[in-house]
Amino acid sequence: MNTGIDLQGRFIQSLLDVGVPPGIAKAIWMPLPMVLMIVGATVGVLICIWQERKISAAVQQRIGPEYIGPLGLLASVADGLKLVFKEDVVPAKSDVLLFTLAPVIVILPVFLSYLIVPFGQNLIIGNVGMGVFLWIALSSIQPIGLLMSGYASNNKYSLLGGLRAAAQSISYEIPLALSVLAIAMMSNSLSTVDIVNQQSGYGILGWNIWRQPVGFIIFWIAALAECERLPFDLPEAEEELVAGYQTEYSGMRFALFYISSYVNLVLSALLIAVLYLGGWDFPIPVNLIARGLGISENNSVLQIVAASLGITMTLLKAYFLVFLAILLRWTVPRVRIDQLLNLGWKFLLPIALVNLLATAALKLVFPFAFGG
């Protein structure tokens, strides 16, 4: 299995072959992964926003954006340009330093989490051995930025929104982590690449969703709460808190909050696809397809096609989950804050603990089925 390190070596070697000095070749490589990650995540967010507008319009029997680009595809780009040139207002009695740092602290951990997402069989920026643990650690930084934004705004609605966001994130991080630990236990690894490889070989029957249905449901609910999607959008409840912790923000600072929520949604969908839906794996094993077509599994053309389709499979699974999240927004009403916290602490946490213990027991009893 090739990793991000292999890609780095190949890129640097290709530069060395054309006469570029080693120091310059390494300097050229260093910013490339981050640039590719930011550009890819931003494009994914633009698609996600367009998808939300079109699906929401269809649910409400409207057309949605139609004239800004083909099928309204450039509407999100137009909104982004508007926010870039919009006046950036800072409240007079706010804590300017914290007010400025908060959006950066919120969005930076989400972007960094894309480092460990394998989009395809050989397409990952960093195959970190502790990849899942790294993502859990990074996700715990985001509530600090949300709380900072609520406090620094010097606004009662912002403060309430920040407190809600921090309480909500802390409540659902624990069941989320426990559900991921069950997957790591079955895969004997914290690497996202190893987790996908452990599911491959049997097609759809080998995906973790069949062995961890309870963990999948817990992860999905907790991910929606972490992304502050309906029915868990209490930190931004418009009817109660105007816009929550975002109330005093405008211009690019508001854009960072707006982008981070959608980047986080796409990231959560990608992680569900990787952890539970086989990542780049096909519903029908590639070797069976090759045998049916009479093609050798070592055929170079087949491997290129399979790699390209693997990336497509990962994105299709992720955006199908995004579609479900958007559909849920117009299906389920918002819960109260006490119901949200009770669901996390009194319901999901005990079930996640039992699921983890049951996974450990089943791994001992049925080692072949549960990754022993």
SS3 assignment for 226-255 = HCCCCCCCHHHCHHHHCCHHHCCCCHHHHH
pLDDT value of position 81: 87
pLDDT at 108 over 60: yes
pLDDT value of position 266: 92
Task: Provide the residue type at 19 as one letter.
Answer: G
**At CA 136, angle to CA 132 and CA 141, rounded to 5?**
145
Distance CA 29, CA 55 (A): 39
pLDDT value of position 287: 67
Answer whether 360's CB lies under 8 Å from 174's CB.
Answer: no
pLDDT tens by residue, 285-307: 766 666 666 666 666 666 677 77
Please state at what angle helix 251-276 crosses helix 192-199, rounded to 10 degrees.
40
Longest dimension (CA), the chain: 72
pLDDT value of position 3: 41
3-state SS, residue 200: coil
First to last CA, the chain: 21
pLDDT value of position 271: 94
Residues 6+ apart with CB under 8 A from 357: none
Distance CA 102, CA 289 (A): 50
Distance CA 358, CA 157 (A): 43
Please list the alpha-helical segments (H only) found in 68-227: 75-85, 96-113, 131-139, 142-152, 156-187, 192-199, 208-211, 213-226
Answer whether 235's CB lies under 8 Å from 164's CB.
Answer: yes
Question: Residue 346: pLDDT band by 50, 70, 90 thresholds?
Answer: very high
Average pLDDT over residues 77-102: 86
The token duo for 341 is 């916290």
Beta bridge partners of 123: 120
The domain locations on the chain are: 86-370
Q: Give the DSSP letter of residue 345.
A: I
Question: Residue 312: pLDDT band by 50, 70, 90 thresholds?
Answer: confident
Distance CA 12, CA 20 (A): 9
Residues 6+ apart with CB under 8 A from 20: 28
The token duo for 199 is 């599911």
Distance CA 311, CA 168 (A): 33
pLDDT value of position 5: 44
pLDDT value of position 213: 93
pLDDT at 28 over 80: no
3-state SS, residue 120: strand
Answer whether 119's CB lies under 8 Å from 314's CB.
Answer: yes
State the DSSP H helix or E strand holding residue 297, giving kind and residue range, or none if neither.
none
pTM above 0.75, yes or no: yes
